[in-house]
Amino acid sequence: MKLGKTAQWILTLGILVALLVGVVTIYGRQRATQGDLNSELTRLNQDFVKYTAQKGELQGRLSKAQSDLSKLDEKFHLLTESVEITGAIFEAADDSNVDIVKIGSSSPAKGGEAGGYDVFSLSINAKGGVVALLKFCGKLSETFPDSVIKTVTIDVPEEGEESTISVALTVYCYEGS
C-alpha cells in the first residue's frame, strides 16, 4: 500500500511531534533533577560551613577539657602521694610504738627544674616513751631517705606523763618514684 504525499507528511509530522514530546519530557525531568541536586548541594554547603564552625568550637572545648583533665590528674597524683606519705608515717609510728597526735601539711609544691619533683612540708606531733620517740625519728629518716628533718623538739614531762615529739619534715617525691 502506497501512502500519498500528504499522508507521509502527516505520519512524519506525527513521529516528529512524538519525538519532540519525548525529548521535552526527558529535558523537563533532567531540569527537575538538576534543580533538586542544586538545592541539595546548597544545603550541603551550608551544613559544611556550619559544621566547620562547630569543629573549631569543639576543638576549643576539647583542648580545655584536656587541660582540665591534666590539672585534675596532677591534683589526684599529689593526693595519692600525700596519702602514701601519711600511711608511711603511721606505719613508722606503729613500728616504733608511738601514737600520732596530729599531722599537719602545707599544699604540695613543685621543685627542681621544670617541676621534676613534689615537695611536701609536714609537721608531726606524737606521744610515747623517749626511746620510742627517738626510734620513731630514726624510722622517719629510714622511710623517707629523700627528706629533710628540719626540726625535732622532744618534751619530757614529769614522771607519769608521756613524752611528746614535734617533727618538721620536708619530703621530696621524685617523678616516677
CB 126 within 8 A of CB 97: no
The H or E element containing residue 23 is helix 5-96
113: pLDDT confidence band, cut at 50, 70 and 90?
low
Architecture of domain 73-174: 2-Layer Sandwich (3.30)
User: What is the phi/psi pair of residue 144, to 5°?
Assistant: -120, 75
Grid cell locating 93: 609510728
- Split at pLDDT 50, 70, 90, the class of 111 is low
Q: Which burial class, exposed, middle or buried, applies to 103 when counting CB atoms under 10 A from its CB (0-12, 13-18, 19+)?
A: middle
**How is residue 114 written as a grid cell?**
621544670
The pLDDT value recorded for residue 40 is 93
In which band, very low, low, confident or very high, does the pLDDT at 77 lie, cut at 50, 70 and 90? low
What pLDDT band is residue 29 in, cutting at 50, 70 and 90? very high
* Number of residues assigned to the chain: 177
**Is the pLDDT higher at 119 or at 74?**
119
pLDDT at residue number 2:
77
Q: How confident is the model at residue 175 (pLDDT cuts 50, 70, 90)?
A: low
Cα–Cα nearest to 100, from 167, 151, 169, 150: 167
Residue 63 in this model has a pLDDT that exceeds 80: yes
